[in-house]
Structure 1
Amino acid sequence: MFSRISNLIRGFFSLFITGLEKQNPEALLELEQENLRKQIASYNQGLAAHAGLAERLIGQVRKLETEEKELRARTAAHLRAGNKDAAAQHALRLQTVTRELAENRAQMDQAETTYSDLIRARDVAVNAARAKIESLKGAINDMRMKTAMAEMNEMASGMIGQIGGSGDTLNRLHEMVEEERNKAAGRARVARDSLDMSDVNVKEAEMKALADQALADFAAAEGISLGDSEAAPAATSRSMGTKPASEGESA
């Protein structure tokens, strides 16, 4: 039972971590880059140890080559001098050195070949990993850009749907304005139809009659004939108190 609960908890944590990784792929990629750097450093340490072994074999080969030359010269010298026992001892040692030299040369060649293969394998693996990382960087950037474009398109389509929808604020406002305008037009029509124009016409005729009567009274008081338009200036001058000059005075 406890193992099942533990598995369930691990499953929840795994889902949670997977969700975080999906939300932050850059962080996961940076972690993989750091792991790659650590692996390269560890691999280089192994290469350094192998290179040290190859250098030690090279040193041994050089030492054995020098010893072989010396033993060969000593063996020949003792043999020419007639010292067969000494020459035999040096010849025996020469055989051993020659055998060791051949073995060390073979090991040195194998070590050099292995070192070159390891270097090539490291370079290939590192280049492949770097290419994959660069590809992932491009894919992440493309994903971010496409996600942003998708969000913008969704936002735009949502705005278009909201603006053009039947239940949006602008449509409701338009309907309310149209309704109030129609109501106002109806009220104006009802008020116009209910207006009694007979009283207005009577009042207008009464005002016109009073105005004509006032004008007639003024004309009578001033001695102006409403039918003679040419006599109006003379009558006006007499009303101002001016008298025409007599013929005697003018003479």
Structure 2
Amino acid sequence: MGFFARLGRLIRGFFSLFIGGLEEKNPKAMLEDLKNQLNAAKVRYNTTTANIIAREKVAAAKLKSAEKELEECRRLIQEAKRQNDRELALQLLIQEEHLEAAYNTALEAYNSIKAEADHARQEFENFQAEMFQKMSQIEQLKVQADLADLKKEMNTLRSNFATESGAGRINEGLKQAEELIQSKLAKEEAIAELGKNSIDSRMRSLKTSAAKSRAEEKLRALFGDEPAQTEEEGRVVKERTQN
């Protein structure tokens, strides 16, 4: 089993252990720790993948160099043939065999490391997709953990409020306040009622009525109205009219 497969299985198993133990410990702290573990795994994936790709590039450069040397040797062989230099051609043919063997070795090494690099790229893509899913699940669980904390706080407040020191104390305070207010209102109403029946109050009422009567007489005189009849005068006039 390759490094990436082992690391992937390790992370999946690690995540399962965390999810299974959420109810036993602080879930938010565990989720944050798991998030850090996944980020650390991502760094390892990045580093390992980069190293494998770097090896692929080195192998590709060696293969290209070996191919170039082999092609140059074969060009020289043709040149020696053109010049009819058999001794030089012989030496070049011997060198060609060594260069061809070196090229085949470089090609085999490149194909091997390329296959490993392609596999590493695919594994890295799979890990990124899985990590994105796990990170999304972590964020969802953190939201649920926050909601659980809020519900717990609400239940605590509700429980505290339902006690004698909570709602009972508030109800008792409201009752006392209501009694004080009613007592104060009754006292003020009694004072007002006594004020209405007092001599001073009656005297003020009489003076107000007399002042109003004088003002009405001045108003009639101002506008030339006929003097108002007294009650007795009105009765006499009425009797005369009837007779």
- What is the TM-score of this pair, normalised by structure 2? 0.50
- What is the TM-score of this pair, normalised by structure 1? 0.48
- For CA contacts below 8 A with separation 6 or more, give which structure has more relative contact order: 2
**Larger of the two Rg values belongs to structure:** 1
